[in-house]
Amino acid sequence: MAAPLTPDKLVQALRDEGVTVVEHRSWRTNNRNHKGAWGPVRGVMIHHTVTSGTASSVELCYNGHSKLPGPLCHGVIAKDGTVHLVGHGRTNHAGLGDGDVLQAVTAERELPPDNEANTDGNRYFYGFECINLGDGKDPWPAAQLLAIERAAAAICRAYGWGERSVLGHLEWQPGKVDPRGFTMSWMRARIGARLDVDPVPAEPEEPQPKPPAAKPPTQPKPAAPRYEPFPGASFFKAGRSSPIVTAMGKRLVAEGCGRYAVGPGPRWSQADRNSYAAWQRKLGYTGKAADGIPGKASWDRLKVPNV
């Protein structure tokens, strides 16, 4: 089973996924470890706070209240998408839940109904409290939903988990309704789509040679071939279908970099990514710069015909 991430690795994983992180007070040592173990960790749980206001919500989750000592989660996700880290270790967020649900999350299969409260969830889950009144009327801004998606995906990516390792409090503990205002199946679909595409590292900049001094042509020159301009790294994501992808694949095959069993075709696939990674390595890129996601420098050198 998986050991908890260190504070440094947790922060780095979140930031690598594009999350804006605020480290609140002494969050790195704020925990309930004296009450029991934290770990092995098995998933990520999403909650709503039933509060409003960022500062007061963060303080509440850091300190807790008279009936439940803090910290009440690991991170608080504000309306603007900022994630405020308030605890590291065992936190009072999940409570007792259904052991059958824990087994399903661990196996990453469909969740059964949560009809028992027989298992300590504080031991096994990362918890994120999202600032929302939980009345079904308080809106969920796009920035906050994106931060939920990114924060959950960051932890899943760190462990090699899929989106089925993410659940809502309402799927864990009988009687709970959080998060209210969106469905967890919808959020898991977003997280799964994000996990299908790795974070895109920038390719190294190539120095541009100085053009030779212009000379008057002695005769008309044939028109230069037209090539597809670089469409941007975000163009190449799961589900993309475009004739540009087909044209790119044909050029990769021509360069001896094709890794296709059948194809190439118009839908961006793992075979396209493997083929493009071979092209990047042919150009001398290594490591994350040869991850198969096109960058402008390598794209311009591939010379994909205009479609």
Print pLDDT tens along the chain (307 aa). Answer: 589 999 999 999 999 999 999 999 999 999 999 999 999 999 999 999 999 999 999 999 999 999 999 999 999 999 999 999 999 999 999 999 999 999 999 999 999 999 999 999 999 999 999 999 999 999 999 999 999 999 999 999 999 999 999 999 999 999 999 999 999 999 999 999 999 876 544 344 445 455 566 666 656 555 556 889 998 888 998 878 999 999 999 999 999 999 888 878 899 888 899 999 999 999 988 888 889 999 999 999 999 998 7
Instruction: Give this prediction's pTM.
Output: 0.66
For the chain, the domain total comes to: 2
Nearest to 162 by CA among 171, 153, 150: 153
Buried b or exposed e, range 39-58, using 16+ CB within 10 angstroms: eebbbbbbbbbbbeebeebb
Any domain includes 275: yes
Domain containing residue 280 = 233-302
**Tokens matching residue 47:** 């909650």
The pLDDT value recorded for residue 219 is 61
> In angstroms, rounded to a whole number, what is the distance separating the alpha carbons of residues 6 and 88?
8
Whether 302 contacts 279, CB under 8 Å: yes
Domain boundary residue among 195, 224, 251?
195
pLDDT, residue 203, reads: 44
Q: Is the peptide bond before 71 cis (omega within 30 degrees of 0)?
A: yes
Q: Decide: 94 and 173 in contact? Cβ < 8 Å.
A: yes
User: Is the domain of 115 the same as that of 184?
Assistant: yes
Question: What's 109's domain CATH number?
Answer: 3.40.80.10
What's the pLDDT at 238? 81
**How far, in Å, CA of 91 to CA of 103, rounded?**
21
Domain match, 153 and 290 both: no
Q: Has residue 220 been placed in a domain?
A: no
CA dihedral 230, 232, 238, 241 (to 10 degrees): -40
CA dist 194 and 207 (Å) reads 33
| Cβ contact 55:22 at 8 Å | no
Residue 214 domain flag: no
Is 223 inside a domain boundary? no
Of 170, 195, 220, the position where a domain reaches its end is 195
Q: Which one of 138, 165, 195 terminates a domain?
A: 195
Closest CA to 268 of 206, 212, 197: 197
Name residues whose C-beta falls within 8 Å of residue 231's C-beta, 6 or more positions apart in sequence. 244
- Indicate whether 253 belongs to any domain: yes
